[in-house]
Amino acid sequence: MEPYKVYEIKQSIFQANDDQADQLRQELKQQHTFLLNLMSSPGSGKTTTLTRTIEALRDEMRIGIMEADIDSDVDAAKIARTGTRVIQLHTGGMCHLDADMTRQGLQEFGTEDLDLVVLENVGNLVCPAEFDTGAVKNAMILSVPEGHDKPLKYPLIFQVCDALIINKIDVLPYFDFDLEKVREFAHMRNPNLKIFPVSAKTGEGIEAWCDWLRQQVGAWNNAASPSGLG
């Protein structure tokens, strides 16, 4: 017998927005724009990782950043300092973006001339994972101080992501964080998940992550060309 009871609270219904997401991907393909949806907990280092990513890729492709936040501009202000095109989306209290909100953001931003748009989703491991934003690929950041058990506790986000960035590896010596365990737990959820240990602070590991992203953007934008729309 378990030493505690488990009680299932009734589940609420999330409205499916999969059709809208598929349609948005179709439009992005036509305009040769790759949209990456980047998710994580608050404080995992999304903005710093993005800044490093921009530095590594800005000479090869035209990049735009969509910052989604409850109601602050902290992240957009940071990104703007890199000279990159950025728009701040305010979700008005909402904990995630759905496909329609993402399309609103993209239209307002004007992304026709961009090769790569990164959507920095609201800092939250739960709700953003529930809604397909229409992004071509999903990536998440898990930082060392958060602990290696997170794939056990937040399974869905690990399932829906294509890439997992393990950030803040520079502080590994100060935390009980087992890199092998997190790989094992994450691959239990999603055997195809690509894992990139990085330190956005020191730059370690950023190149491998950027190589993967470069390949994804190239494959999407080139595959779009033969359709005659490019």
Write out the residues near a second copy by the rule CB under 8 A.
2-12, 14, 41-43, 69-77, 79-80, 86-95, 97, 101, 104-105, 108-109, 122-127, 130, 143-147, 149-150, 152-156, 168, 171, 174-175
Q: How far is the CB of 167 from a second copy (least distance, A)?
A: 10
Q: Which is nearer to a second copy, 127 or 224 (CB)?
A: 127
Which 8-state DSSP code applies to residue 200? T
The answer for residues whose C-beta is within 8 angstroms of residue 72's C-beta and 6 or more apart is none
Q: Which is nearer to a second copy, 61 or 94 (CB)?
A: 94
Q: How far is the CB of 230 from a second copy (least distance, A)?
A: 27
The answer for residues whose C-beta is within 8 angstroms of residue 224's C-beta and 6 or more apart is 29, 30, 32, 230
Q: How far is the CB of 128 from a second copy (least distance, A)?
A: 10
Q: Which is nearer to a second copy, 153 or 229 (CB)?
A: 153
Q: How far is the CB of 222 from a second copy (least distance, A)?
A: 30
Q: Which is nearer to a second copy, 31 or 84 (CB)?
A: 84
Angle between helices 206-224 and 46-57 (to 10 degrees): 60
Q: How far is the CB of 112 from a second copy (least distance, A)?
A: 16
Q: How far is the CB of 77 from a second copy (least distance, A)?
A: 8
Backbone angles phi, psi at 32, to 5 degrees: 55, 50
Q: Please classify residue 52 by burial: count the beta carbons closer than 10 Å to its beta carbon, then call 0-12 exposed, 13-18 middle and 19+ buried.
A: buried
Q: Which is nearer to a second copy, 83 or 226 (CB)?
A: 83
CB atoms within 10 A of CB 120: 25
CA dihedral sign, ordered 115, 42, 166, 160: negative
Residue 32 CA to residue 140 CA, distance in Å, equals: 23
Q: Which is nearer to a second copy, 81 or 219 (CB)?
A: 81
